[in-house]
Structure 1
Amino acid sequence: MAKFVLVAGAWLGSWAWDEVVPELRAAGHGTHPLTLSGLADKQGVPAGQQTHVQDIVDEVEHHDLRDVILVGHSYSGIPVGQAAERIGDRLARVVFVDSNVPADGESFVSSWPDGRAMVEAAIAENGGFWPPLTADDYDGQGLTGEQIARIVGGSTPHPGATLTEPAVLARPLGELPATYIKCLLDGDKVGDDVAALLTSEHWRLVEMDTGHWPMFSRPRELARILLDAAAA
């Protein structure tokens, strides 16, 4: 039986996995949807990027989890990728859901050459937080109006330091057993950094014909892919 630790992207909390968790549990696996510090029900907790890495490591160690499938969506691929290294032989596989991936010494905004100034300005103008997206920003991502309203209604400002602090990796990410899920409505090709990682014999690519938030738009399909990853 695998233990899934599920970490959603910017602005979201553990609630984002509410429609995925029952599918995984029905298949007999343990589930640990996680809210990172400073978000959702943990608003007000100071957080930098390494805080988020430690949140994930602490979840695994506190519950003494083994055969762990770490799942990181969007921004959370960065702390999840670092945590995957740090939990050692507890890790079975890491799954990146249309996510950023960490690079040693680089931050989340490092991979946004055209948007870095915009993100940093938004953080500066909003008390150190990245403000959530508006409903219009979710157009074209395979979401219903009800799903968009749910995401927008549950989103909270994201701690800015987690986006600007650098990742710390002890060894090449390509050495980890990994699945990368590319959501095609959010662009039909992976970035150059992910493409390079996919040349590793330890990595595999899965595509979903949906947008950047598949836990809302295609929760059952996403759950099936996660179950396949656990069996890999």
Structure 2
Amino acid sequence: MDILLIAGLWLHGSTWDDVAAALRSHGHRPVPLTLPGQGDGSAATLEDQVAAVLAAVDAAPGKPAVVGHSAAATLAWLAADARPDKIAKVVLVGGFPAADGKPYADFFELRDGVMPFPGWEPFEGPDSADLDEEARRAFAAAAIPVPGGVATGIVRLSDERRFDVPVVVVCPEFTPTQAKEWISAGDVPELAQVKHLEFVDLYSGHWPMHTQPAELARLLAAAADPV
């Protein structure tokens, strides 16, 4: 099966390299996506990134699994909304989809039209506990500022058939129990309506593609394999 891999904020598609290599050994075809605005210097919008994801879905020979990491959980979910009949499964890694009408990822201050990586202070604790100083320096040096048109883009969802698409939530810096509690409390309204929802645990920080690529690949392969 094709597995489309969408990284979160500040990341290039190459962040999936180790995961992609492991997925091939599991018999899948990984397709890491580098989206408009992720290193090409363009003033991309959220719509541009959604269009790139949908182009990858449409180019897949069968029904792909779509993996969204962190904020890109929303991109994966937007793909399910636009192509509910063409996606086998959505896998969310360390993130949850935003609801209709909400901004995509206006989490930090924009500077000169982009949202730069804010440094490690906002991510102290479970998010970054498994990253050593060298890994943190490398991450920060490679971080790609997010175009303002992406970060502040408004999420638009319209097809309720998205709730028929099976979803797997991979829980790295939080537990499945916590995720279920947040959904039950109404914090993630989109997932509360999903008809086939699973949770898997992954003991890591927020960026398991860097710290646990083999285990993340194993979980993604298991999620993509037919039952």
Q: Give the TM bin, normalised by the shorter chain.
A: 0.7 to 0.9
Offset of residue 138 of structure 1: 5.1
The 1:60/1:167 distance shift into structure 2, 3 A limit, reads same
Give the corresponding residue for 1:155.
143
Describe how 1:133-148 pairs up with structure 2 within 5 A.
133-135=118-120, 139-140=124-125, 141=128, 142-148=130-136
- Whole-angstrom CA distance in 2 between matches of 1:185 and 1:81: 20
- Whole-angstrom CA distance in 2 between matches of 1:169 and 1:181: 23
The 1:49/1:209 distance shift into structure 2, 3 A limit, reads same
Give the corresponding residue for 1:175.
164
Describe how 1:184-203 pairs up with structure 2 within 5 A.
184=173, 189-190=178-179, 191-192=182-183, 193-194=187-188, 197=191, 200-203=194-197
Give the corresponding residue for 1:3.
2
Give the corresponding residue for 2:27.
28
Q: Is 1:85 aligned to 2:81, yes or no?
A: yes
How many residues align? The count is: 217
Greater fraction of residues in helix: 1
For residue 211 of structure 2, the aligned residue among 187, 204, 217 is 217
> Residue deviations 1:139-185, cap 9 Å, x none?
44212333323322221111122122211112344332110112235
Q: TM-score, normalised by structure 1?
A: 0.83
- Runs of 4 or more above 4 Å deviation: 135-139, 185-188
Stretches of structure 2 that go unaligned for 5 or more consecutive residues are none
Give the corresponding residue for 1:60.
57
- Preserved contact between residue 117 and residue 143 of structure 2 (Cα < 8 Å): yes
- Preserved contact between residue 184 and residue 207 of structure 1 (Cα < 8 Å): no
Give the corresponding residue for 2:18.
19
- Preserved contact between residue 71 and residue 97 of structure 1 (Cα < 8 Å): yes
> Residue deviations 1:175-208, cap 9 Å, x none?
3211011223599723444477257441111121
- Preserved contact between residue 98 and residue 190 of structure 2 (Cα < 8 Å): no
1:85 partner amino acid: D
2:95 partner amino acid: S
Offset of residue 209 of structure 1: 1.7
Identity %: 29
Which stretch shifts more, 190-199 or 201-210?
Answer: 190-199
The 1:87/1:187 distance shift into structure 2, 3 A limit, reads closer
Offset of residue 60 of structure 1: 2.5
RMSD across aligned positions (CA):
2.4
- Whole-angstrom CA distance in 2 between matches of 1:168 and 1:56: 15
3-state DSSP of counterpart to 2:168: strand
Which stretch shifts more, 164-173 or 26-35?
Answer: 164-173
1:27 partner amino acid: H
- Whole-angstrom CA distance in 1 between matches of 2:86 and 2:124: 39
